[in-house]
Structure 1
């Protein structure tokens, strides 16, 4: 079941869903608008291969900055954070979707990582890309996406209880932690 406006507001008010900071004006009919934070991380163009199993390649040739805005260049990929910290119980999952007004500028909000597991807590790292032929400026604090909440049965092992929960309590835009997985069946 997808939560609707009054259920979203009620779940937040009662503390079942944690949204910090919470602005009731951001509640939409079937979602909650989520705002862009002020931390941005991006890869510098180079020929070095990024190997998901080699931590040093994940972190080399990167830049980061905090700012009130960021100009995403055509074709650029940038990680950003949400302003809100999101905390989900063991029976609610969420997906983050782009806002159509931002998508119409050519900005994709996430590549494929738009799922937030039950039990997760932290800011959400956005995987943004500009498919426009012109740079697009995004501002910290602007509504950038929307969270859709789904009620499920209670998890046996929610994200906050998993021993390999690599992104639990993350703050800031977070580079991939794929290197923390075991190297299995890689040839």
Structure 2
């Protein structure tokens, strides 16, 4: 069952949902909270590899995946340009913490989607027990370049109550690949099956 704005505010008051920095009143909608775009991006570097092998035994190692992506930091007020057909990782301004009895769902904004911006390729579920900033998986499926600016409202998070709290919260799992992330992290698929 989805939480309403009243439920979200009650859970923020009792510490079951936390945002740093906290949202303003106009960021809280009927059943979601708008999140803002941070300053850090990751982009694939051209010419670094002929392909990415997604499965062992030939799959890339973690350091190889890291080397495929460059860092781009954008100053406040400056644009990050996402050209048609391009993919990039971004990050939210807000750090989000979710109690083990809730799951989050990330959604793009309809007004931005109508211009061709996708904000998550597939990863829209925020696990119970999450603690960190949220990496955004941008893709421009429109015909024109899009200028993304740090601080803009980029997506919204809503929450669903679980029937019982999870006994495997994300933040406590030894195999959680992205816990406490504060910057956009590239894929850590090479660590699957190994504790971090």
Please tell me the TM-score bracket, short chain as reference.
over 0.9
Q: Which runs of 5+ in 2 are unaligned?
A: none
For residues 74-132 of structure 1, the C-alpha deviation after alignment (integer angstroms, 9 at most, x for no partner) is: 11100000010000111010010000011111000100011110001000000000011
Q: Tell me which residue corresponds to 1:161.
A: 172
Work out whether 1:73 is the aligned partner of 2:80: no
Question: 39, 55, 73: which is aligned to 2:62?
Answer: 55
Q: Structure 1 CA distance, aligned partners of 2:97 and 2:122?
A: 20
Q: Structure 2 CA distance, aligned partners of 1:88 and 1:182?
A: 25
How far apart are residue 43 of structure 1 and its match? 0.2
The ranges of structure 1 where at least 4 consecutive aligned residues each deviate by more than 3 angstroms after the TM superposition are none
Q: Which runs of 5+ in 1 are unaligned?
A: none
Q: Structure 2 CA distance, aligned partners of 1:4 and 1:40?
A: 32
Please show how residues 38-187 of structure 1 align to structure 2 within 5 Å: 38-46=39-47, 47-52=49-54, 53=59, 54-67=61-74, 68=76, 69-152=79-162, 153-182=164-193
CA RMSD of aligned residues (A): 1.4
TM-score if structure 1 supplies the norm length? 0.92
TM-score if structure 2 supplies the norm length? 0.88
Q: Structure 2 CA distance, aligned partners of 1:61 and 1:164?
A: 23
How far apart are residue 30 of structure 1 and its match? 1.2
**SS in structure 2 opposite 1:137?**
strand
For residues 29-73 of structure 1, the C-alpha deviation after alignment (integer angstroms, 9 at most, x for no partner) is: 011111111100000233522234422331223221211331101
How far apart are residue 149 of structure 1 and its match? 0.3
Q: Tell me which residue corresponds to 1:34.
A: 35
Q: Structure 1 CA distance, aligned partners of 2:37 and 2:53?
A: 28
How far apart are residue 182 of structure 1 and its match? 3.3
How far apart are residue 7 of structure 1 and its match? 1.3
Q: Structure 1 CA distance, aligned partners of 2:161 and 2:53?
A: 36
* Preserved CA contact (<8 Å) 2:69 2:186: no
Q: Tell me which residue corresponds to 1:2.
A: 2
* Preserved CA contact (<8 Å) 2:104 2:157: yes
Q: Structure 2 CA distance, aligned partners of 1:85 and 1:182?
A: 27
